[in-house]
Amino acid sequence: MLSYVPGDSPAHRLDPRSKLAVQLSFAALAFAYTTPTGLAVLTVFVVVLLRLAATPVVDALRAYSFVFVFLLIAPLLEGLTWGSPWFVVADAVPSALAGYRVLLVLLVAAAYVRTTPVRESRAAVQWAIPGRVGQFLGMSVSFVFRFLPVLRADIGRIRDAHRARLGTERPIPDRMRLIAVASFNRAFERADRLALALRARCFSWNPTVPQLRFGTGDLFAVIVAVSFSAAALHSML
């Protein structure tokens, strides 16, 4: 499960605004160059980025393991045919490349989540979008980053309890229904507790956020982001 981990890696020392710029420009570049050569070059960049962010590749892939099913199903469905030869590799290749592109974007997002405190992400959003809208979006980002790992942990505990009670012996539709109902009930309980905690702490729409400062490393990150954006724009034109 991915969450912020304190550290002193080069990515930890960057301003969240420059990291967001790199993340968004990389996503644009990945969608602009969905070719084997382009994705191979982007893969090298992702590996380097994960090293700079002290994020193990195995941990990042394990965190997104639930996405693999959808990324694998799409190429299989594209390649299937109703008659001989039953599966056409050429038809499945574009979908497979698109799925791999999504995986690269998720790995870059994993590096951001692991190296950026939630409060700094909220401050970056409120800096980029001033006013009440920015405060609402910043609050939403902080809630998602804090709430989602808790919900995923709850679902894992529900599944473990289900297996311990021989729930795996039930038909698949029953198992899906029981786990889904228990997960939703747990999520609503968490939401009620969160709302009560916010009221008890006099939740503010405009809290004091950490002061953001650009450093020397951020200049390099901004140059990378601008280069990626320019390359993506050149491909589109």
pLDDT in tens, 56-107: 888 888 878 778 877 888 888 888 888 777 787 787 888 888 888 888 998 9
pLDDT at 109 over 70: yes
**Residue 46: per-residue pLDDT:** 92
Question: Which tens digit of pLDDT belongs to each residue from 141-152?
Answer: 777 766 777 777
Contact 186, 154 (CB under 8 A): yes
Q: How many CA atoms lie within 13 A of 226 on its CB side?
A: 6
- Averaged pLDDT for residues 6-28: 90
**Residue 47: per-residue pLDDT:** 92
pTM higher than 0.85: no
122 vs 136: CA distance, rounded Å: 10
pLDDT at 115 over 80: yes
Question: Which tens digit of pLDDT belongs to each residue from 153-165?
Answer: 788 888 888 888 8
Confidence of residue 45 (pLDDT cuts 50, 70, 90): very high
Highest averaged pLDDT of the listed ranges 24-28, 159-163, 168-172: 24-28
Rounded (5°) CA angle 184-188-189? 115
| Residue in the structure block whose two tokens are 């592109």 | 101
Q: DSSP string spanning 74-139?
A: HHHHHHB-SSTTSB-HHHHHHHHHHHHHHHHHHHHHHHHHHHS-HHHHHHHHHHHS-HHHHHHHHH
Rounded (5°) CA angle 121-210-190? 55
69 vs 172: CA distance, rounded Å: 17
- Averaged pLDDT for residues 101-117: 89
**Residue 210: per-residue pLDDT:** 76
pLDDT at 237 over 80: no
Question: Which tens digit of pLDDT belongs to each residue from 183-236?
Answer: 888 888 887 887 777 677 666 666 667 788 888 888 988 898 999 889 888 877
